[in-house]
């Protein structure tokens, strides 16, 4: 379980402002890839092919869960702290809050469509579902870009590394808490997608520097196989599209 996050306000005693936010670029790269790929995967499901709609639907559910979790974590950690420590950022924070609210509205429209489409693989339901996901994709793309331009530089200056790291800790704890619901391979998917988000030429060094040795060993022995199996399930007839 993630440790308790101190309330918003000054940097907690014993901590110092300044943190490395570069990992968020990788997370955003994953979300861009997920929501670029998902509408196409949905549209490729043939009418009545419920075996395939069940596979794609399972990963769609994970995509929606991940986006909810990511935004809820940012809402918990970032906005109040940035406003308190850098009031000039309030306009951009307000835009982030509004965009998160709009993403939530889009998800509320999209998610109820998942189960009926999975159950029937109906072509009309499929196309409406994919179209709404494409709308979310476009909104998300603009939001992520603005967050990278306007929020990450400020967060890097005014938040402590411990505060920033809480987001990763909270994400990991949430995934573990929902592991039964999400599937036993969810942690393998998380690590595998994160590694895939790093350019191949930099990947080996990045993994050595950022993935603890016990996780590297577990990934080599078990998690990579689970991740590769998931990608083959999603892309049985073509290579997995690159994120970078």
DSSP class of 184: T
| Position 226 confidence tier, pLDDT thresholds 50, 70, 90 | very high
Structure confidence by residue, pLDDT tens digits, 105-155: 999 999 999 999 999 999 999 999 999 999 999 999 999 999 999 999 999
pTM confidence score: 0.95
Q: Which DSSP helix (H) or strand (E) runs through 26?
A: helix 22-43
Instruction: Supply the mean pLDDT for the chain.
Output: 96
Residue 30 · residue 59 · CB < 8 Å = no
Residue 113 and residue 134: Cα distance in Å, rounded?
Answer: 14
Residue 17 and residue 11: Cα distance in Å, rounded?
Answer: 7
Structure confidence by residue, pLDDT tens digits, 41-98: 999 999 999 999 999 999 999 999 999 999 999 999 999 999 999 999 999 999 999 9
143's tokens: 């939001």
CA 89, chain centre distance (Å): 24
Give first-to-last CA distance, the chain, whole Å.
32
133's tokens: 């996901």
Residue 15 and residue 17: Cα distance in Å, rounded?
Answer: 7
């Amino acid at each position: 379980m993630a440790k308790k996050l101190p309330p918003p306000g000054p940097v907690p005693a014993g901590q110092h402002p300044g943190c490395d936010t570069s990992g968020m670029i990788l997370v955003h790269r994953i979300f861009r890839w997920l929501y670029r790929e998902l509408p196409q995967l949905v549209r490729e499901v043939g009418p009545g092919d419920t075996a395939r709609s069940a596979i794609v639907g399972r990963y769609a559910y994970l995509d929606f869960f991940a986006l909810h979790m990511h935004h809820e974590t940012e809402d918990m950690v970032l906005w109040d702290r940035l406003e308190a420590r850098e009031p000039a950022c309030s306009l951009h924070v307000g835009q982030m809050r509004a965009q998160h609210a709009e993403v939530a509205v889009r998800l509320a429209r999209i998610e109820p469509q998942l189960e009926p489409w999975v159950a029937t693989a109906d072509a009309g339901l499929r196309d409406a579902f994919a179209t709404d996901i494409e709308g979310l994709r476009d909104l998300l793309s603009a939001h992520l870009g603005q967050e990278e331009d306007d929020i990450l530089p400020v967060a890097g200056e005014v938040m402590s590394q411990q505060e920033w790291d809480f987001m990763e800790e909270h994400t990991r704890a949430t995934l573990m808490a929902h592991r039964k619901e999400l599937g036993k391979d969810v942690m393998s998917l998380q690590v595998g997608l994160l590694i895939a988000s790093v350019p191949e030429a930099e990947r080996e060094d990045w993994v050595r520097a950022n993935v603890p040795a016990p996780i590297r060993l577990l990934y080599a022995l078990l998690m990579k196989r689970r991740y590769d199996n998931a990608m083959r399930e999603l892309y049985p007839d073509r290579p997995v599209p690159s994120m970078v």
